[in-house]
Amino acid sequence: DTGVSQDPRHKITKRGQNVTFRCDPISEHNRLYWYRQTLGQGPEFLTYFQNEAQLEKSRLLSDRFSAERPKGSFSTLEIQRTEQGDSAMYLCASSRTAGGPTYEQYFGPGTRLTVT
């Protein structure tokens, strides 16, 4: 069990460019989550997958954001036409499926995005 990994760890991009982040969950976990964390704040839920199905998207998620998990393993998060307000740490987490919201989530180290 190597834990949740994310790539890249840091990304600097210019406003208006597209960026894509990758998350590799713990291999036997079928749930995968994306969060955004800004300085001094807790993680803000963006979306989550069960296997390859995207089950939930935050009502705060802009349509410039899209996430995929095509084979139920790794996931990608794409931000189109980045804005300075998108600068944040993007966190990925994974978990097993349990009989309710009692499962624990294992977090990756995050991808820090800076939009200049």
* AA letter at 114: T
Expressed in angstroms, the distance from the first to the final Cα of the chain is 36
The count of residues interacting with other proteins (CB under 8 A) is 25
Match 């931000």 to its residue by tokens: 79
Which residue lies nearer to other proteins by CB, 72 or 109? 109
Q: What mask, x for binding other proteins by CB under 8 A, covers residues 15 to 44?
A: ------------------x-x----xxxxx
Figure out which of the listed residues 52, 62, 73, 107 binds other proteins, where binding follows CB under 8 A. 107
d(CA 69, CA 77): 9
What's the closest the beta carbon of residue 109 comes to other proteins, in angstroms? 5
| Residue 103 in tokens | 């499962």
Q: Give yes or no for residue 59 binding other proteins (CB under 8 A).
A: yes
| Closest of 69, 73, 41 to residue 54, by C-alpha | 69
Q: Give yes or no for residue 106 binding other proteins (CB under 8 A).
A: yes
Considering just the CA atoms, what is the radius of gyration of the chain in Å?
Answer: 14
| Residue 89 in tokens | 């740490």
List interacting residues with other proteins (CB under 8 A).
4, 33, 35, 40-45, 48, 55-56, 59, 91, 93, 100-102, 104-110
